[in-house]
Amino acid sequence: MKPKLIIFASGSKDGGGSGFENLALHSRVGELDADIVAVVSNHENGGVRKRADSLGIPFIYFPGPYDAENYSSILSSVAEALKDKQKAAMAKDELWVALSGWLKMVHGLDPAKTFNIHPAPLSFYGRRFGGDKMYGHNLHVAIADALAKGEISESGVSMHFVTEKYDDGPVFFEYRVPLQMGMSADDIQKLVNAAEHKWQPKITNMVVHGEISRDGKDPASLKVPEGYQFLPSH
């Protein structure tokens, strides 16, 4: 059986969700060898829902509270739906969770099976471009400001396992993209978004098939194939 994957993607009330859609399309052509069984958003009728409806993927509206009990309830409801559909037992701990533009804190999910994509390199200056408020347009404004000051010359994409602190889990993939002086936050966002769409399906596939893994407790348990953890631009 293929791995079962739930995607959490906020999007916005007017749009967004391109990362989720990109994963779904790649799952249909095989680069991502997993079944996307549901997508979750905190916007009831936003961009994520529109893309989910067009793709025929079950949509779950999650308005909060964003605590362990409610996150667990989401996974349990998906597992129960799959159990009924497949006429076989489906435990919630068999589900993988990918955060793809999910802007809420996560609590109570398995730190060995929950992972996130972040639109900046987390290895910069002790995760300077991660954590509180470092998401969405705010993040790319911070990158553009650092570029203008000559402090950095690259941005990029990171993927990491999720802990109960923003952007603090073990990083298992980083891909950097070179920037040019004078680029705006919008320019940087477009460049990084293209890198996300290129790499996220492939790296997600490696995670759900065990090529990239951790035990959920010890950071030293992280296992990544050689050459992927910090991949230079090319």
Helix axes 136-148, 185-208, angle to 10 degrees: 120
Q: For the chain, what are the domain ranges? A: 4-120+157-174+194-213
| Domain covering 4-120+157-174+194-213: architecture | 3-Layer(aba) Sandwich (3.40)
Question: Using 50, 70 and 90 to split pLDDT, how confident is the model at 234?
Answer: low
pTM summary value: 0.94
pLDDT of residue 125: 78
* Whole-number average pLDDT of the chain: 93
* Interval 33-79: pLDDT, tens: 999 999 999 999 999 999 999 999 999 999 999 999 999 999 999 99
CA distances (Å), origin 50, targets 14, 134, 155, 192: 10, 26, 30, 23
* Interval 184-199: pLDDT, tens: 999 999 999 999 999 9
Contact 173, 229 (CB under 8 A): yes
Mean pLDDT of 74-92: 79
Number of other residues whose CB lies within 10 A of the CB of residue 49? 19
pLDDT of residue 97: 98
Contact 155, 183 (CB under 8 A): no
Question: Is the confidence at residue 148, as pLDDT, over 60?
Answer: yes
